[in-house]
Amino acid sequence: MKRIIIVEDDEAISEATTLALEMSGHEVVVTNEVDSLFQLIYKFGPDIILMDYSIGNANGRKLCEEIKLELKYDNIKILLFSAAVSDESEFRNPLFKYFDGFVPKPYDLEDLLSKIDGQYEVN
């Protein structure tokens, strides 16, 4: 079981993803409140964060960078969860260097679960 935070502002996507992950035995919390994200990370202690690229007026790439630069959070795996990237070559763009991997939207459930379960490595 992994502890997962989904940072997503599309309610339908967050609900469907939460249901799929919970049915797979994971503990999930969803937020679209980026102002309190660090507090949520501290309280919940996630193993993984699924981070949308665009959350309201916030930039998921910048949030990812801020999280990764906090040494106490460097063990958290952050996956870009977005339609902004659809394949490995796009993901290799230096803009995404702080992300540990990506899950393109719309996502394939098997792909999502394999990345959550650590069966996927970014080269």
User: Looking at residue 38, which CATH number applies to its domain?
Assistant: 3.40.50.2300
Q: Which domain holds residue 36?
A: 3-116
| Number of domains comprising the chain | 1
Is 121 within a domain?
A: no
Task: Classify 111 in phi/psi space as left (phi over 0), alpha (psi -120 to 50) or beta.
Answer: alpha
Is 44 within a domain?
A: yes
At residue 84 the predicted structure's pLDDT band, cuts being 50, 70 and 90, is: confident
Is 122 within a domain?
A: no
The chain-wide mean pLDDT, for the chain, equals 91
Is 11 within a domain?
A: yes
Judge if pTM exceeds 0.75.
Answer: yes
pLDDT in tens, 31-77: 999 999 999 999 999 999 999 999 988 999 999 999 999 999 989 99
Helix, strand, coil share (%) of the chain residues, nearest 5: 40, 25, 35
Whether the pLDDT of residue 123 is over 80: the answer is: no
Q: For position 66, what pLDDT does the model report?
A: 95
